[in-house]
Amino acid sequence: MMDKEKNRALQLLMSEMPDEIELRWLSKRLQTPAKELRYHIENRILPDQKEMSQFISKLNISELEVRLAMGILDHTVIQRLSENVEAVARCIPGNQQTTVPESPPHWINNETWAAVSR
């Protein structure tokens, strides 16, 4: 049940225009006014510490998950992603390793191509 609620909350945080029913559900679940939640979601502003503690305790959502869902990429998030580049890359669909083409694109000269394709 907790995973279902967690996913539901994360989907709402990812939305640009939160659904009113979902917003009321999350407001009730976190005991936070819907108006405040809407403001944070629509303006991509991280909830304050009180609201964040509600996400953590009631829905088992970490601050990092809230930041990622809302698209708030500060230095801390970027550093954590950078520390786990391979794992992050595997999670992104369509991110397969590619081989270097044999000939350079038209906008790269042969000397530059030789230097970067070694």
List the pLDDT tens digit at each of the 118 positions of the chain.
568 999 999 999 999 889 999 999 999 999 999 999 999 999 999 988 988 999 899 999 999 999 999 999 889 889 988 998 888 888 888 766 566 666 666 677 777 767 666 6
DSSP state of 14: H
- Number of Cβ within 10 Å of residue 102's Cβ equals 7
> Is there a contact between 22 and 8 (Cβ–Cβ < 8 Å)?
yes
Rounded Cα distance between 8 and 31, Å, is: 16
- Number of Cβ within 10 Å of residue 26's Cβ equals 25
